[in-house]
């Protein structure tokens, strides 16, 4: 009986989550995708330095300059290339919202509603644990990565420049503006099984995941 239950559980998981394919982004880098119910998500953080039309997105290291930006930019956490290898790039929301397209062709930045759909598909009280990667967290993350989303704790860049919480938190933009100069995002925290929802300054630097167009 135990073997039968295990087989059924594995079969259900196969239906809900399928193994990732690989696609090229606009920088000709290969990235992985994973299907979670009826959504197909990037299975790693976005790491492009150009918009979809080929225009360059500037890297901005200076804290003073970052806080004054009114256009798209990216950085590595603490401006270290090795953090880019682990976590991808951090983007301000000006880049997310740029009409030239930050997401690779065929993909888009998920709306707040699409993020909520992902959470509902995985269960409100346990979605965070199911999308956290099993590696890369400094503290116990209660991570199962059952979905294959592989959420990495890339931290974020505060709107006035400082970097915070890599290894303990993951922060992702949505495409949905909340109030003036603010937009919705989602967070994973090392000691929580839920996915947090918060709105922050569009000048902040957050990780980006993309979802396949319908």
The closest of 120, 147, 119 to 134, measured between CA atoms, is: 147
39-57 pLDDT, tens digit per residue, is: 999 999 999 999 999 999 9
Number of Cβ atoms within 10 Å of the Cβ of 85: 10
DSSP 8-61: HHHHHHHHHEEEEEEEE-TTS-EEEEEEETTEEEESS----SB-TTSPBPPB--
Percent of the chain with pLDDT over 90: 80
Q: What is the reported pLDDT for 214?
A: 83
What phi and psi, each to the nearest 5 degrees, are found at residue 8? -65, -45
Look up residue 62 and give its two tokens: 């200076």
pTM above 0.85, yes or no: yes
Average pLDDT of span 68-89 = 96
128-150 pLDDT, tens digit per residue, is: 999 999 999 988 778 999 999 99
| Residue whose entry in the numeric block shows the structure tokens 């200076």 | 62
Q: Is the pLDDT of residue 101 over 50?
A: yes
Please give the tally of structural domains in the chain. Answer: 1
Terminus-to-terminus CA distance in the chain, angstroms? 40
Q: Is the pLDDT of residue 86 over 60?
A: yes
The domain in which residue 188 lies consists of 2-212
Confidence of residue 20 (pLDDT cuts 50, 70, 90): low
């Amino acid at each position: 009986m135990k073997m039968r239950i295990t087989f059924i559980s594995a079969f259900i998981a196969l239906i809900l989550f399928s193994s990732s394919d690989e696609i090229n982004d606009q920088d000709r880098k290969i990235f992985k995708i994973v299907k979670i119910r009826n959504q197909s998500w990037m299975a790693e953080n976005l790491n492009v330095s150009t918009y979809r039309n080929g225009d360059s997105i500037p890297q901005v290291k200076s804290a003073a300059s970052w806080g004054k930006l009114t256009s798209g930019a990216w950085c590595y956490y603490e401006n270290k290339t090795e953090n880019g290898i682990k976590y991808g790039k951090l983007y301000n929301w000006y880049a997310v919202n740029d009409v030239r397209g930050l997401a690779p062709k065929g993909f888009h930045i998920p709306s707040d509603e699409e993020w909520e759909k992902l959470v509902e598909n995985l269960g409100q009280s346990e979605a965070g644990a199911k999308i956290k990667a099993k590696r890369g967290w400094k503290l116990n993350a209660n991570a199962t990565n059952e979905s294959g989303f592989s959420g990495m704790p890339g931290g974020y860049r505060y709107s006035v420049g400082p970097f915070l919480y890599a290894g303990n938190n993951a922060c992702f933009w949505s495409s949905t503006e909340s109030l003036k100069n603010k937009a919705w995002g989602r967070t994973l925290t090392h000691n929580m099984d839920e996915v947090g929802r918060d709105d922050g300054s569009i000048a902040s630097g957050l990780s980006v995941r993309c979802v396949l167009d319908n």
